Amino acid sequence: MQTFQPQTTSRLDDIKHLRDIFNAQNSKELKVAFDALNPSFTISEEDLEVQFNRYFVGPMETVADPFASVYLDNPDVFMSKSTLHVRDLYETMGFSYSLKNVIPEDHLGVELDAYYQLLFLEEAKEITYLSDLRHYFLHEHLALWIPRFLERGLAQSEKDAPAITFILQQLKSLLIRETTTTRSS
Amino acid sequence: MSYSKEKVESILNNGISRRSFLKGLAASGVLSSLPGGILQANEDLNTKIPYLGQKNYQTFRNACPRNCYDTCSIKTYVKDGVMQFIEGATESTYTRGGCCVKGNSYVKRVYSARRLKFPMMQVGGKGSGNWKRVSWDYAMETIAKKLLEMKKEDGTLLGAALTKYSGNFGITHYGVEGMFNSIGYTTRLAGTPCWPAGIDAQNLDMGDMWCNDPEEMKDSKFIILWGVNPASNSVHSMKYIYEAKSKGAKVVVIDPVFTEAASKASQYIQIKTGTDGLLALGMAKIIIDANLHDQKWLDANSKGYKEYKAYLDKEIKLDNVSKITGIPLAMIKELALSFVKAKPATIWMGYGMQRHTNGGSMIRAIDALVAVSGNIGKYAGGARYGHLSTWGFNYAALSQTKPEGSVGYTGPEGAKGEFAQVGGEKAAYTDRFLNINKTARELLNAKEPKVRLLWVACKNVFSQDFDRNQLIRAFQQLDLVVVADQFFNETVKWADIVLPVATQFEEYDVNVSYWHYWLSLNEQAIKPLFEVKSDVEIAALLSKHMNKLEAGSCTFPQSVDTKAMTIKEFNPGIYEQFGIKSWEELKNGSVKAKAVIPYADGKFKTPSGKFEFYSDKALELFGSALPTYLEVRKPYDKFRMTSPHSRWSLHSQFQNLEWMEDMHPEPYVYINPDDAEAKMVKEGDTVAVFNKQGLLRVKAKVTDNVQAGTVLMYEQWYNNNIYNVNELVDDTSSDMGAFKTGAPGVALHDTFVNFRKL
């Protein structure tokens, strides 16, 4: 089994790469985002996508659906209460979403994008106007479902998919780091 | 962390707080600083005010397109683009505000996490489970290239086969056949696994399959539910049966299985499987011998009554009828005489009874019984089986011309299926038809050219067809298998390309029933989720890619919207039949066809124009002009196995939903207590059920709902379960079906098995 170490990159970059992994629409995009997260991990573009799809996309029943509502509301359904709650949050954060009612707002890739953009305002632009919303989003939403998602994914990936384990471990590290970081203001 | 949950929730939930927060957001310049990703800055901040309790739903008209008698008219409630709930439309007196257990789960179905979301290719070979996402363009270009390559190499497109059946009976979904029509002469898996024997029988007797409005049953004085279980599988029909019963009508269920409908009836008669035809002949004989038959109607409207009576006189011995059917003679006499004395009286024949090697002959015998009793052509009477009399659409999506110079099949022509048969002059070529009920062996055996590409739509082949092992071989030998579906199932497992298909809530369409007389519009209520497309949009995309590679190679329109395609299906005949001026009136609710009593004018579409006891066509095709008794298939194993529908699913559809899994999570074999005792099987034991076809391991339920000598196992597939009852069913044909649907039906209930405790 390939060994790897979590990378030490910037807080914002990590979120961005993870976001891009979960929002990738093809194997090339997926591999670019994965390599950005860990350039030393050897896996072919096709193998990475096949594994990623088995875990998170389908068409077969996935190992861990990347939708918050599946963990917070009902294990079989999306576009439910949690999805609509996140929709409200995004609108209050000032986001518009061109894939509204096409890809649910509580998809992990979309949520990581929201979190990335909010953190970017604080870290890169030093604007703290939305920090309460970011913390609320983190503690009252992301931190409620991502651990369950990680648990489900890791329970399987540690047996058969090191690349997926790496992605999930990075996400886990990120979540721990974010939830234990003192707010900047 | 020192954030304030209460403060944020106050902003989220309070319109005034939220407005002032958003004003501040705009004023602070935050939006121009966002880096941008999948979420963009909402520059106009025209944000909706949070839901504060008003029932501000948008409503849409929909219709259930599943293969079910009821074809429910649905009203869909949508808020902010999200389906919230559905209810049966109140405008349809048939649906009357309610849906069945399956229909009520539609929101869960549409938003199921198990939906297929993107076009994908299986890169590790069929069955490998290694899937790669592809764009629609890539998927369609791959398919288009393959089709054009086959055409070039074979000189025809007969190597491209389509298998499509009843997963979606929406009219525009005949665009799938239209797509295949538009590329040239191709191969079609023709026929129907469902009801062909009965269709042939009714066409031989009456020249059509045409039944009275089920709503009339409320005024029937005597109703026989013969091999049908509406309490499970046509729940909306039950209210008319209950109403008739409450007004004094007698309701009798004749079935080998004590069904839910039987539990609601005035009387239940447990008949030995496959002997229903003999019972009908015996009842007719009793009626005629008692001189209670309708001689006047028979003289005016029938052909061959004399020969039929002579047959009854000579061949039908009532003692034998009792012995073979297992019903006491006194009970048969009482049933026959009370049935004929009640006017009007009706018989509803289900699709279970005709799934035998003598199924068509049994339907003919029951048609004859209803005719003898004088109930054909009468309000609240009739020999009910089904009808297609409200299906007179344009079939615009279906009716595509072949590309110039198309070369096709020159062998014997077959019929094209029970729906949407289109006429026209005989062409030099035809499509090639293979028997849908023998899919595996037909795909394997087709030669010159061999089948190389298979397109599967509206159908789960591995759940519905027979001989799974041979099916795997057949799929593996194909160059390209394309499956268009909404969920992952075993057919998708063996595909090369899977295309995600829209639900009826994500497209426009129009629906009618093969049972009731209502017409419903299906409006697009929500945006298509992820990258799903409707069947006609897929056809248009294929056309675009084929024409890009070779101009003129596909005649299907290269872009469509489902609303425009739906509007094209209407015509003045439909408007006249349903008493509307425009399809737009359907936005106010479904409408019902003007009342017509089938055959009330005594005109039948048979060669003689009369009800034919004696049918020359039947003699030519099936060797018997009269509705005679044909013995059921001889057992080839110890127990007969019957495999009806359950109320929780339509074959594999709906069974994968959590609500259904909660109620009906696993398969069972239902065994009579006598048989269970003989085999030392107790309730809950795991047993092996096996025969020459295969073996299934299932838990036992011991119940006298099934008679001794018979076991019952519901058809369908269960999520995450390898069970499929069809693994025990061979593809033996029923006696009829090839006349009108291109291929005989399958004698599903003439399956024999043995079992033992594991």
| B473 — pLDDT class (breaks 50, 70, 90) | very high
Structure tokens that stand for B369 in this block? 């019984």
Residue pLDDT, tens place only, A148-185? 999 999 999 999 999 999 999 999 999 999 998 755 44
Give the pLDDT score at B194: 86
Question: Distances from the Cα of B702 to the Cαs of A23, A101, B28, B706, B749, in angstroms?
Answer: 52, 48, 73, 9, 20
Residue pLDDT, tens place only, B249-308? 999 999 999 999 999 999 999 999 999 999 999 999 999 999 999 999 999 999 999 999
Give the pLDDT score at B349: 98
A96 contacts B40? CB cut-off 8 A: yes
Of B40-49, B312-321, B456-465, B470-479, the range with the lowest mean pLDDT is B40-49
| B421 — pLDDT class (breaks 50, 70, 90) | very low
B133 contacts A136? CB cut-off 8 A: no
Residue pLDDT, tens place only, B637-654? 999 999 998 889 988 899
Give the pLDDT score at B18: 83
Q: Is residue A134 part of a domain?
A: yes
| B415 — pLDDT class (breaks 50, 70, 90) | very low
Return d(Cα B637, Cα B642) in angstroms, integer: 13
Structure tokens that stand for B285 in this block? 């004989």
Of A102-111, A135-144, B594-603, B654-663, the range with the lowest mean pLDDT is B654-663
Residue A48 or B655, more confident: A48
B705 closest CA partner among B379, B109, B262, B360: B262
| B45 — pLDDT class (breaks 50, 70, 90) | low
Mean pLDDT on A48-60: 98
Return d(Cα A88, Cα A106) in angstroms, integer: 11
Q: Assess contact for B439 and B743: CB atoms under 8 A.
A: no
Give the pLDDT score at B656: 87
Q: What is the 3-state secondary structure (H, E, C) of chain A?
A: CCCCCCCCCCHHHHHHHHHHHHHCCCHHHHHHHHHHHCCCCCCCHHHHHHHHHHHHHCCCCCCCCCEHHHHHCCCCECCCHHHHHHHHHHHHHCEEECCCCCCCCCEHHHHHHHHHHHHHHHHCCCCCCCHHHHHHHHHHHHHHHHHHHHHHHHHHHHHHCHHHHHHHHHHHHHHHHHHHCCCCC
Mean pLDDT on B142-154: 98
Which residues of chain A make contact with B21, given a CB cutoff of 8 A? 92
Mean pLDDT on B531-555: 98
Return d(Cα B88, Cα B104) in angstroms, integer: 9
Q: Is residue A185 part of a domain?
A: no
Return d(Cα B275, Cα B261) in angstroms, integer: 20
**Number of A–B residue contacts, CB under 8 Å:** 184
Angle, helices A45-52 vs A162-180, to 10°: value is 70
User: How close, in Å, is residue A98 to chain B by CA atoms?
Assistant: 7
Q: Is residue A133 part of a domain?
A: yes
- Count up the domains in chain A and report the number: 1
Task: With a cut of 90, say whether residue B216 has pLDDT above it.
Answer: yes
CATH of residue A69? 1.10.3480.10
Give the pLDDT score at B420: 41
Give the pLDDT score at A2: 47
What region does B717 belong to: left with phi over 0, alpha with psi -120 to 50, or beta? beta
Which one-letter DSSP state was computed for residue B194? S
Q: Which of B50, B114, B133 lies nearest to residue A88, judging by beta carbons?
A: B50
| B466 — pLDDT class (breaks 50, 70, 90) | confident
Domains and CATH numbers, chain B: 58-111 (3.30.200.210), 120-193+397-592 (3.40.50.740), 211-385+598-622 (3.40.228.10), 639-757 (2.40.40.20)
Structure tokens that stand for A10 in this block? 């910037």
Mean pLDDT on B433-448: 93
Structure tokens that stand for B87 in this block? 């209810």
Q: Is residue A161 part of a domain?
A: yes
Give the pLDDT score at B718: 80
Residues 117-176 of A with CB under 8 A from B: 117, 120-121, 124-125, 127, 129-133, 135-136, 139-140
B178 closest CA partner among B565, B479, B505, B452: B565
User: How close, in Å, is residue B690 to chain A by CA atoms?
Assistant: 29
Q: Is A74 exposed, middle or buried (0-12, 13-18, 19+ CB in 10 A)?
A: middle
| A113 — pLDDT class (breaks 50, 70, 90) | very high
A58 contacts B120? CB cut-off 8 A: yes
Angle, helices B196-206 vs B359-372, to 10°: value is 40
Mean pLDDT on B65-69: 96
Q: Assess contact for A72 and A61: CB atoms under 8 A.
A: no
Q: Is residue A26 within 8 angstroms of chain B, CB to CB?
A: yes
Q: Which of B7, B36, B112 lies nearest to residue A77, judging by beta carbons?
A: B112
- How many C-alpha atoms does B634 have within 13 Å on its Cβ side? 1
Which residues of chain A make contact with B16, given a CB cutoff of 8 A? none
Q: Assess contact for B730 and B295: CB atoms under 8 A.
A: no
Task: Residue A99: give the domain boundaries.
Answer: 11-179
Return the amino acid letter for B201: A
Residue B186 makes CB contacts below 8 A (sequence gap 6+) with: B157, B158, B160, B161, B162, B180, B408, B431, B432
A77 contacts B527? CB cut-off 8 A: no
Which residues of chain A make contact with B133, given a CB cutoff of 8 A? 25-27, 49, 53, 57
In DSSP terms, B384 is beta-bridged to: B348
| B49 — pLDDT class (breaks 50, 70, 90) | low
B34 contacts A46? CB cut-off 8 A: no
Mean pLDDT on B450-475: 93
B24 contacts A129? CB cut-off 8 A: yes
Q: Is residue A6 part of a domain?
A: no
Q: Which of A60, A95, A121 lies nearest to residue B42, judging by beta carbons?
A: A95
Mean pLDDT across chain B: 94
| B29 — pLDDT class (breaks 50, 70, 90) | confident
Q: Which of A67, A117, A131 lies nearest to residue B37, judging by beta carbons?
A: A117
Kindly provide the ipTM of the predicted complex, given to two decimals. 0.94
Q: Assess contact for B719 and B656: CB atoms under 8 A.
A: yes
Q: Is residue A95 part of a domain?
A: yes
Which of A50, A97, A160, A175 to probe by mutation at the B interface, max B CB count within 10 Å?
A50
Which of B18, B22, B28, B39 to probe by mutation at the A interface, max A CB count within 10 Å?
B39
Residues 48-87 of A with CB under 8 A from B: 49-50, 53-54, 57-62, 65, 67, 70, 74-80, 83-84, 87
Q: Is A124 exposed, middle or buried (0-12, 13-18, 19+ CB in 10 A)?
A: exposed
Q: Is residue A165 part of a domain?
A: yes
Return d(Cα B416, Cα B432) in angstroms, integer: 10
Mean pLDDT on B555-575: 97
Q: Is residue A62 part of a domain?
A: yes
B12 contacts A77? CB cut-off 8 A: no
Alpha-helix residue ranges (DSSP H) falling in B393-483? 439-445, 461-464, 468-477
Residue pLDDT, tens place only, B326-348? 999 999 999 999 999 999 999 99
Give the pLDDT score at B638: 97
Which residues of chain B make contact with A95, given a CB cutoff of 8 A? 34, 39-42
SS3 content of chain B, % helix, strand, coil (to 5): 35, 20, 45
From the CB of residue B535, how many other CB atoms can be counted at a distance below 10 Å? 30
Q: Assess contact for B330 and B720: CB atoms under 8 A.
A: no
Task: With a cut of 90, say whether residue B573 has pLDDT above it.
Answer: yes
Note the residue count of chain A.
185
Pick from A22-26, B664-668, B742-746 the range whose average pLDDT is largest. A22-26
Residue pLDDT, tens place only, B720-750? 788 889 889 988 999 999 899 888 889 999 9
Which residues of chain A make contact with B135, given a CB cutoff of 8 A? 25-26
B21 contacts A57? CB cut-off 8 A: no
User: How close, in Å, is residue B506 to chain A by CA atoms?
Assistant: 11
Residue whose structure tokens are 């018979």: B710
Q: Which of B28, B37, B41 lies nearest to residue A129, judging by beta carbons?
A: B28
Task: With a cut of 80, say whether residue B427 has pLDDT above it.
Answer: no
Give the pLDDT score at A183: 53
Return d(Cα B322, Cα B330) in angstroms, integer: 9
